[in-house]
Amino acid sequence: MAILIELMLLTAAIWLLAAARVPGWAWIVAVAVYLLAWPLWHTSGIWALLPLWLVFLPLASILGIPRVRRALVSAPLLQRYRTLMPSMSDTEREALEAGTVWWEAQLFGGNPDWTQLLDYPPPRLSDEEQRFLDGPVETLCAMINDWQITEQLHDLPEEVWQYLKQQRFFGMIIPKRYGGLEFSAHGHSSVVMKIAGRSITAAVTTMVPNSLGPAQLLLNYGTEEQKNHYLPRLANGDEIPCFALTGPEAGSDAAAMPDRGVVCRQLVDGEQRLCIRLNWEKRYITLGPVATVLGLAFKLYDPEHLLGGATDLGITLALIPTDTPGIEIGRRHLPLNQAFMNGPNRGRDVVIPLEWIIGGRDRIGQGWRMLMECLADGRSISLPALSTGAGKLAARASGAYAAVRKQFKTPIGQFEGVAEVLGRIAGNAYLMDAARGLTTLAVDRHEKPSVASAIVKYHLTERMRKVIDDAMDIHGGRGICMGPSNYLGRVYQAIPISITVEGANILTRSLIIFGQGALRCHPYLLREVQSAQRGDINQFDHALFGHVRLLLSNAARAVWHGLSGARFARAPAPREESDYYRQLTRLSAAFAVTAEVALLSLGGSLKRRESLSARLGDVLSHLYLASAVLKRFSDQGRQTADRPLLEWAVRDCLNSIQSRLFEVYANLPSAWHGRMLKTLLFPFGPVYRAPSDKVLQRAANVILRWGAARDRLTDGLYVTADADDPLAQLETAFEKTTAAQPVLRTIRRAMRDGRLQAGDPEERLVEAVEKDIIDERAAGQVRSAIVARQSVIGVDDFPANYRKEEQASWQRASTHSPQVSQSIS
């Protein structure tokens, strides 16, 4: 009898697990529970399990039969779900549903398929794109004198403007049939990155027409007539575009714009036509002061119902020539001494035909969705490319400077404290380029990666901030004295611009990465929300129990990996880096479970718990960044010399993930939830440490030494042989210093042996030649290195009355602009 009842119970358990289609991990847990309970069954008697039997069989029947489950479980939960679900505006819904997800969804799912990631082709340039980089982009960089641009002209020289137009730099995303270059996302990104290492002003001027703006909006949504008219003119520079979204009262909350358009009838060429009367005020509009065509976002209203529909038609986009009556282009802004054109504009009773709406009448009210979908593309390319260019510049220049600059008779790069900073610069530059490449790969695979684009926008601009800060520390006074030979100062000044635009970083981290990622990357959550909104019980049931199965699977996987140290997780790589894949799999599962607990315990209030959301977003972000690093290392043939950079970047991400998870556990409203998660997912406490001193030193050596690893790390950066260029002079000094090192080592050995007097080896050249320790040619190498060093450590100086006349003219012209006065009043 006991055996029969036991078999019945086992059969019911198997039926329940099979009917619920639970994954293999849940089967393992079930078997473990059975084995743990077996002594109770066979010592206390089968009747001891009668209560369990009476509960288990009805539960199996309810959950295993879909019709019963929907009636008894899903329907009540659906009603409760709809009650607890937070309100969501149309603009929030459109933002959440815009774009697509790809690799980041696997990381959110808790069990990433690393083989799939590595099987994606590496990001590559076409032959045409490489020729453009080697030709027109090289020529453009050679034409640029950033000190002249930012200090003297406060604009690009006219010949640079003309060259940008002639070579179709403004048409990189425009197809060839319209006269554009039709570059891939990776090609476009590589162009911006190279220019950014030379001049932020030139990079911004180049990237804005190819980012979120008229060309991209026309390509995705424009009518054929609009495309045929504007795209050729944008490609060849006959039209300079800008896009006006931000205003004095609508910054990060751009959807709250007060700018209005009203449908009206207007007499045009002797006949009454349907038009729009617009009034707006915008600011911070890049290229606005020189634009010939203005993309405008506004709210459209139809109070007379001339279009036959609702009164409030929603956010709409239009393309308007800037010479249209009623448009006023304001005075320019000066964003932190950068010279790219940026300024306010406003419109007073500007009348435009309906045909100027981007996409025509069919796109009325769809402006916010259009912007959100295009933002993913632009945010994936422009600022990540600019940040990576700055990172490569910092890495190449700081390593060379630290090898050349001497203090205490020693190159400063040999001091451990300096090497720590250099290692951080090199590791960050490697990570930034890897993330840039992975994200452009997504765009080139026709994804619109809304979550990944937010990740790289935030984290690459923040890492740029850290890298440039570190580079300034290395350069010391050489970095803070402005002048023609300062290659870091303007980048340093420009950092807050990147932090602010295309979604302020605080907003992006606190609200977007996890807030949007939770709904878009989770396999079931968005379907639950959508089916609940529609009241679709069948879809809700399917999504809900898929969600339950996923949670059980991830919980089992996370606990098992925590106990086993992820030793049994799959890793598609050689032993040297296999543990990185395993640990990221473990942390992906731990993140998935933590996110589920946060969502279940906080519900809609998680939207308001921005610090928790930010930390969860950091975890997802660092999983993505570490994935990008592993893929880059694999794509480049697992170069041994690059391994220190891989090790630094992955260890930094692992440590950051662990730190953020522990912060989440410490700040959950329920302390019990935090303790439970910490105990189950990290049973042995924190296990991931920050990169060690040895790792930092090895990473620093990559940029302290002349060689292929340094060139790979800074590949794509503009490096010139022009003897008057400060970076070229630094490269020359670095090369000469490297060549002189064997000679100096020979002199040091002679000093240790007592053949030469102790002291600075550079001061013993004459004595070393006289004693035949080195020859005159070797001594000449050292002298040449000394001269080169003295040249590159010099700083610019100016007359005492420099800028006084300019300041006097500023004082004479000083007055409040109308916009400032209005803001103050």
Mean pLDDT of the chain, nearest integer:
87
Q: Which residues of 87-104 are buried (b: 16+ CB within 10 A; e: fewer)?
A: ebeebbbbbbbbbbbbbb
Contacts of 357 (CB under 8 A, 6+ apart): 276, 316, 317, 318, 363, 364
The residues annotated as belonging to the active site are: 502
CA dist., res. 231 & res. 293, Å (int): 12
**Rounded-to-5 percentages of helix, strand, coil across the chain:** 65, 10, 25
The Cα 183–Cα 124 span in angstroms is: 12
pLDDT tens, 130-165? Answer: 999 999 999 999 999 999 999 999 999 999 999 999
- Report, as an integer, the average pLDDT of 360-370: 92
DSSP states of 190-247: HHHHHHHTT-HHHHHHHHGGGSTTHHHHHHHH--HHHHHHHHHHHHTTSS-EEEE--B
Closest CA to 570 of 556, 558, 580: 580
Mean pLDDT for the stretch of residues 111-125: 95
Q: What is the length of the chain?
A: 825
DSSP one-letter string for 484-501? TT-SSHHHHHHHHHHHHS
Would you say 98 and 448 are in contact if contact means Cβ atoms under 8 Å apart?
A: yes
Measured CA to CA, the distance from residue 137 to residue 127 in angstroms comes to 14
Lowest-confidence segment of 218-227, 341-350, 470-479, 567-576 by average pLDDT: 567-576
**Residue from 408, 411, 394 nearest 740 by CA:** 411
**Predicted local distance difference test score (pLDDT) of residue 698:** 97
As given in the structure block, the two tokens for residue 64 are 């295993």
State how far the Cα of 495 lies from the Cα of 303, in Å rounded to an integer.
45
pTM: 0.90
List, in sequence order, the alpha helices (H) in 303-415. Answer: 367-404
CB-CB contact of 428 with 653 (8 Å): no
* 85-89, 92-96, 513-517 — most confident range: 513-517
Q: Compute the distance between CA of residue 317 and CA of residue 208 in angstroms, rounded to an integer.
A: 17
pLDDT recorded at residue 238: 96
Calpha distance 319→293 (Å, rounded): 7
Enter the tokens of residue 272. 């009454």
CA distance 715 to 144: 20
Averaged pLDDT for residues 357-372: 92
Q: What is the DSSP letter of 506?
A: H
How far apart (Å, rounded) are the C-alpha atoms in residues 214 and 293?
8
What pLDDT, on the 0 to 100 scale, is given for residue 747? 93
Q: What are the helix (H) ranges across 476-604?
A: 477-480, 489-500, 505-507, 513-521, 525-534, 537-564, 575-602
Query: Cα(9)–Cα(6) distance, rounded to whole angstroms?
Result: 5
What's the sign of the alpha-carbon dihedral 653, 659, 663, 664? positive
What confidence category does residue 325 fall into, taking pLDDT thresholds of 50, 70 and 90? very high
- The answer to whether the beta carbons of residues 545 and 69 sit under 8 Å apart is yes
Tokens of 364: 């009325």
Q: What's the pLDDT score for residue 372?
A: 84
Query: What gap in Å lies between CA 392 and CA 669, rounded to an integer?
Result: 42
Range of lowest pLDDT (79-83, 358-362, 453-457, 801-805) = 79-83
- The answer to whether 278 and 347 have CB atoms below 8 angstroms apart is yes
Q: Which of 163, 170, 157 is nearest to 135 (CA)?
A: 163
- pLDDT above 80: residue 417: yes
Q: What is the mean pLDDT of residues 251-275?
A: 86
Q: pLDDT per residue over 300-323, tens digit each?
A: 999 999 998 889 999 999 999 999
Q: What is the pLDDT of residues 462-483, one digit of tens each?
A: 999 999 999 999 999 999 999 9
- Residue where the block lists tokens 């495309």: 227
Spatial distance between the Cα atoms of 439 and 452, rounded to a whole number of angstroms: 7
Across the range 622-644, mean pLDDT stands at: 97
Mean pLDDT of 109-114: 93
Q: Of 382-386, 417-421, 770-774, which range is least confident?
A: 770-774
